[in-house]
Amino acid sequence: MTDIQIALTMVGLMVTLVVIGVDIGIALLSLSFLGVWLIKDNLVIAEKLVSMAAYSGIQEYVFATIPLFVLMGMLIAVSDVGKDTFDVAGWALRKVAGGLGMATVASNTVFAAVTGVSLASASVFTKVAVPEMLRHGYSPAFAVGTVAGSSILGMLIPPSVLLIMYGVIAEQSIGKLFIAGLVPGILMALAFCLTIYVTAIFFKGFAGTMQRQDTEVDPDMRWTEAVAKFVPIMALVVVMLGGLYSGVFTPTEAGAVGAFGALVLALAKRRLTLARLWKCLLETGYVSVAILFLLITAAMYSRMITLAGMPEWLGMMLQGHGEYVFLGGYIVILLLMGMILDSTSILLIITPLAVPIARAFGMDLIWFGLITVIVVEVGLLTPPLGLSAFAVKASLADQRIRLATIFKGVLPFIAAMLAVTVLLIVFPKLVTVLL
């Protein structure tokens, strides 16, 4: 076989192994090793690739960002910040049609800025928001669809684990990716709120029978109580992201400030026992090691396909076609893969192939990364995999709500995500305006 045929075979085997349930890290490691061995016909070179990737793959200072942001998310999760944020947002939007749904989006937006993981948001707000929405007349599909749909903000609004992974693979500034994610994240949240409002007004059969006044979560809440619940988490978000935007913090320093702020917040709310702190530290270790292992194996995979000349070969195949033809095909591939693979697997398999081609077309790789993450996140909502839908289902106390109901409920939010994607493609400055 030629080098290109070997690389194509390895990519095909990669997708097959992940689909049948092999861990993405193990698949990347083994097939990258095998690919280099076949390409160079030399076992020693393949062994050197493993050792070099393990040593140099995560030695940069910026990789400390990952455990720091993960720890911040763990500490926030035990502080009941999600419930407080939802209570305040629901109270503020109590007289708006679809107010509880919008409160869920607003809460997810704030929660996303301190967790960076979509599945965490889906789990928290399923328990907090779905029972309230059902009690106030929302249809089951609309209630669970709102939670699952808005949970994807966790991977778009910084700090985002997917943006960190893309930045490492594409060799782009994680700080710039975080800053670039702000405007698209806010646009996505606004698009979700508009979707909820339009659905509540014009599609009552789908949305349910809720009335405007029925969206009250706690009508007796005072401004002072609302401020006391909301200001601490917003202060943490403003300090962390403000420091990043102004250049006062590097991404790693922002992670440290965020983790310390989350620790102070958890202690102030008297939610952090020694047992919970130990659990947070253990979970941070488990999650961080898993992510860093994936980045090491992704570096191996990227070197294997580069060694085979696959990016250049794909670039030659696309010569004569415009950049938008490439981008359209790329988005279709991401959407199709989203139906069978999780977002991390898609990013690790496709990004090393697509980034060199995007660079050859002269595309801004920061903008390209945001488009990639948004489209990959659509996969969290689409059947048959739809991990956010599964996370909602697993967290539901009401077992009468079926998985099919959740997939039905997220359809308006998938449409909103695709509409925002088109908007960002037509107006790329929306991504880079803060850079």
Convert the pLDDT of each residue in 285-340 to its tens digit. 888 888 888 888 887 888 888 888 887 787 777 766 778 888 998 998 888 888 77
pLDDT score recorded for residue 195: 93
Any idea what the Cα angle at residue 409 is, between residues 404 and 410, rounded to 5°? 105
Q: How confident is the model at residue 217 (pLDDT cuts 50, 70, 90)?
A: very low
Q: How confident is the model at residue 431 (pLDDT cuts 50, 70, 90)?
A: very high
- Residue type at position 309: G
Residues 6+ positions from 347 with CB-CB distance below 8 Å = 162, 165, 166, 169, 372, 373, 376
In angstroms, the CA 424 to CA 373 distance is: 12
Highest mean pLDDT among 268-282, 332-346, 412-426: 412-426
Q: How far is CA 411 from the centre of its chain?
A: 18
Kindly report the pTM of this predicted structure.
Answer: 0.83
Higher per-residue pLDDT: 116 or 357: 357
Extract the tokens encoding 277.
């702190």
Within 57-156, residue ranges assigned H as helices are 65-77, 81-92, 99-112, 118-128, 130-135, 140-150
Residues 6+ positions from 329 with CB-CB distance below 8 Å = none
Q: Give the sign of the dihedral formed by CA 255, CA 261, CA 264, CA 265.
A: negative
Length of the chain: 435
Over residues 384-400, the mean pLDDT reads 74
DSSP3 helix / strand / coil % (the chain, rounded to 5): 75, 0, 20
Model confidence at 220: pLDDT above 60: no
Residues 6+ positions from 28 with CB-CB distance below 8 Å = 14, 294, 297, 298, 300, 301, 348
